[in-house]
Structure 1
Amino acid sequence: MTVLLSERSQVFDRADAYAVSNYVNQHVGSHCIRLPPKGRPQASISHRTFSSLDLCRISYGAPVQVTSAALETIYHLQILLPGHCRSAARGDEKIYRTGEVLLINPDDPVDLTYSADCEKFIVKLPVRLLENACLEQHWTLPQQGIRFVAEKHELSSMSGFVPLLSLICHEAENEADAEVGALYERIVAKKLLAMLASNVLRVIPKREEAGGFEAVRQFIEEHLRSEISVEQLMTVARVSERSLYLLFERHVGLSPREYLRQRKLERVHAALQVTTARSVTEVALDHGFAHLGRFSEAYRKRFGELPSQTWRRQRNGCAPGG
C-alpha cells in the first residue's frame, strides 16, 4: 500500500488519543470517539491542507468508535490502510478492509468502529468543490445535492487514484502555489464523480432543453427595469438556489444579486450618457434604485464619479476628463 503523507506532515506521534481527536475536530470534521475503558492507547496523526482539501492519516492504537450526526458541508473519502472498519450508520452494516474505500456524504450520520491496528487516510472535500466539478462537466446538479451511493469501493479498481493522491501529498508537503492546488483539487473532484456511482445524471442536456447561465443572462437583460427575484432566476436556469449561486460564481464571480446590481448600474451609466436622459433621479428610479443616497455611492464606487457628474457632462457636451 502506498504511504500517503511523510513524517514531515506528522502532528502527533504516539500521543493521547483524545488530543488527536480534538485536533481532528478542529481540522478534519466534527466527531466523538469512544475508546476501551482500560489502557492508554497511543494515537498518531499526519495532516496537510492543500487548497480546499484536507489530507489526513490517522491511527488510534486501539479499537475506537467514531460517531457524528452529519458532516454537513463536507465529504469524507476514507481509505483503509492496515486493519478494518465496521460501518453501522442507519442500520446498514458493512465491513471495510485494507485497500477498500468508503465515501461519507455530507448528510450521512457517521458510526464507524475501527480495529486496533487500523490506519486510515482521509481526504476532506467541501461540497462546493464537487458541485463546481459537476457544473464544469455541464451535468445537472440534483436539487437535494450530490450523493454518492453507499457501497464499498476497491482502491485497485479506481485507476490512477492512489498515484494522484500521492502526488497531491507531495505537492502539499512542498507548499505548491495556490494555482497548482486549485488544479489538483478539481482533478480529484472530477475523478470521484467519474469513478464512483452517484445521483448525478451524467447527461448533457440538449441546447433547446437547457436553462443555464446564458438563458439567465438574457432574461436579466430583458427585465433590468423590473424587480427580478432569485426564484425567477432559478426557474429560468432550471436549477436549485444553491446551484444558481454556483452558476453565477463560475461565470461572473458574483452572486446573483451582485450581478443584478452591477448590470443595473451599468445600464444607468449608459442611459445618463445619452441626450435623452431626463434626470439622474428618474433614470435611477426607472431601474429600481429607490434609495438615491446608496445608489449614488454605489455608482461612484463603480465608475469613479457621481451620477450627477456623468449627467452634467452629457448635458454640457463634454468628454470624460474634459
Structure 2
Amino acid sequence: MAGMADMGMDSPLLSERSRVFERADPHAVSTYVNQHVGPHCIRLPRYGHPEAYLNHRKFASLDLCRISYGGDVRVMSPALENVFHLQILLRGHCLWRRGREERLLTPGGLLLINPDEPVDLAYSADCEKFILKLPTRLLESVCDEQRWQRPSEGVRFLDHHYQLLALEGFAGLLAMVCQEAESNEPMLRVQEHYSQIVASKLLTLMHTNVSREALSSQAASFERIAEYINANLKQDICSEQLAQQASMSLRSLYALFERNARTTPKLYIRQQKLERIRASLSDPDCKVRNITELAMDYGFVHLGRFSEHYKSLFGELPSDTLKRRL
C-alpha cells in the first residue's frame, strides 16, 4: 500500500507493523471495523474478488485505522453515535453524499463526520484512507478543562471538508501519534497527553460550535454568563464558582444579576433548570423515562422541593405537564 510521501509527510500514518488484515475478504475487515472503529455496512460490486487491507491501533481513547477495501465499495451508516470520525484520503478518490450535497475527496482531503450524521461514502477501487475515531467525551473534557463554552446539545464541527496540509501542524502531529502508537513500550500517560493535544488542535483549527473565548477572558457581560449557565445546566453551578469564572467579586455578580434578571444567581440558575425540564416534559419527541430521573439529572435531589418549585413557577405539577403531552 502506498505511503504518504506524495502528501508531503515524513512518516506514514500507521506502518505495516500495525497490520491486522492483508489481502482479506472485505466483509471480514468490515466486521472488525464495526467492532473497533464505528458501525456501518458495505456494498460490494457483484463481480470480482476485492482484497482488503487494514492497519489498526488503539491509542488511549482514540482508534487509529488505515484501510483499503480493494474494490468499488459503498460504506453507509445511519449515525456514528458518541464518536467523531476524521477521515483522510491517502490514495484514489471517495465520493461523500449528504442529502443532495456531494463532494469528491482526493488525496490529502480531510472529512470530519459528527456523531449524529449519516454516512454515505463511495470508495474507488484504489481508495485508501486513514481514519481517526474520537469519542465525544474527549472533546467535551478538553472544552471543560480549557473553560471553553460548548452548547448543551454537544460539540459539533460546522465544516466537514478540509485539506490536511492546510491545517497548520496537524499532519505532523498525526504522524507523531502514529509513531507513538507503534512504540515497543507504549506509555498510557503519554498516549492520553497526545490524545488531548489532538482534540485541542481539532477544536482550534476547525470551525465548530464551541466558543474558545473563556468566560473570564474579558469583562463578563450578563449575556455571556447566561450562555455559560445554559451550556452547563446539568452541572452543580454555585454563585462562588460563577463569580470566579467571570473574574468578578461575589458582590459584583449579585449586582449584575439584580440589574439584568431582577433575581439572584442561585434563583436564576434554578429557574433555567426548571424551564429546561419543562421543555423536556412537554416535547413528545424527548424520551423521558420518569420525572424523578429527569429531575436528578439537573441536580434536584429533594423531589418534594422540586415539585414545589416547579408548581410555583408554572402553576402545575411536573406530572401534569407530562400527562398533557401523552
- Tell me the TM-score normalized by structure 2: 0.66
CA contact (8 A) 2:159 2:206 kept: no
Correspondence for 1:71: 80
Q: CA deviation at 1:152?
A: 1.8
Q: Does residue 187 of the first structure (1) align with residue 192 of the second (2)?
A: no
Does the residue aligned with 2:91 lie in a helix, a strand or coil? Answer: coil
1:87 is aligned with what amino acid? W
Q: CA deviation at 1:160?
A: 1.3
Summarize deviations over 1:50-70 as a string: whole Å, max 9, x none.
Answer: 100000000011111000000
Correspondence for 2:101: 92
CA contact (8 A) 1:90 1:109 kept: no
Equivalent residue in structure 2 for 1:164, among 142, 148, 173: 173
CA separation in 1, counterparts of 2:165 and 2:14? 19
2:188 is aligned with what amino acid? A
Correspondence for 2:206: 196
Correspondence for 1:32: 41
1:129-278 alignment to 2 at 5 Å?
129-174=138-183, 175-206=185-216, 208-209=220-221, 210=225, 211=229, 215-216=237-238, 218=240, 232=270, 235=273
Considering only CA atoms, is the larger Rg found in Structure 1 or Structure 2?
1
- Determine what percentage of the aligned residue pairs are the same residue: 50
CA separation in 2, counterparts of 1:195 and 1:73? 21
Q: Does residue 43 of the first structure (1) align with residue 52 of the second (2)?
A: yes
Q: CA deviation at 1:201?
A: 2.1
Q: CA deviation at 1:200?
A: 1.4
Does the residue aligned with 2:57 lie in a helix, a strand or coil? Answer: strand
Which stretch has the larger CA shift, 23-32 or 173-182? 173-182
Q: CA deviation at 1:202?
A: 2.5
Summarize deviations over 1:99-146 as a string: whole Å, max 9, x none.
Answer: 010000001100000111110000000001111112222221112211
Summarize deviations over 1:224-263 as a string: whole Å, max 9, x none.
Answer: xxxx9xx849749x9xxxxxxxxxxxxxxxxxx89x9xxx
In structure 2, do the counterparts of structure 1 residues 24 and 217 end up closer, same or farther at CA, with 3 Å as the change threshold?
farther
Q: CA deviation at 1:214?
A: 8.8
CA separation in 2, counterparts of 1:18 and 1:45? 12
CA contact (8 A) 1:71 1:108 kept: yes
CA separation in 2, counterparts of 1:198 and 1:215? 25
CA separation in 1, counterparts of 2:119 and 2:192? 28
Correspondence for 2:21: 12
Gaps of 5+ in 2: 242-265, 277-295, 306-326
Q: CA deviation at 1:163?
A: 1.4
Q: CA deviation at 1:9?
A: 0.6
CA contact (8 A) 1:13 1:45 kept: yes
Equivalent residue in structure 2 for 1:107, among 116, 129, 139: 116
Summarize deviations over 1:145-179 as a string: whole Å, max 9, x none.
Answer: 11112332011111111111111111111142111
Correspondence for 1:22: 31
CA separation in 2, counterparts of 1:190 and 1:136? 10
What RMSD in Å do the two structures reach over aligned CA positions?
Answer: 3.1
| Residue correspondences, number | 237
Does the residue aligned with 1:193 lie in a helix, a strand or coil? Answer: helix
1:216 is aligned with what amino acid? C
CA separation in 1, counterparts of 2:209 and 2:80? 19
In structure 2, do the counterparts of structure 1 residues 91 and 45 end up closer, same or farther at CA, with 3 Å as the change threshold?
same
In structure 2, do the counterparts of structure 1 residues 88 and 178 end up closer, same or farther at CA, with 3 Å as the change threshold?
same
Summarize deviations over 1:255-307 as a string: whole Å, max 9, x none.
Answer: xx89x9xxx9xxxxxxxxxxxxxxxxxxxx9xx9xxxxxxxxxxxxxxxxxxx
CA separation in 2, counterparts of 1:233 and 1:190? 33
CA contact (8 A) 1:146 1:199 kept: yes
- Tell me the TM-score normalized by structure 1: 0.67
Q: Does residue 127 of the first structure (1) align with residue 149 of the second (2)?
A: no
CA contact (8 A) 1:69 1:109 kept: yes
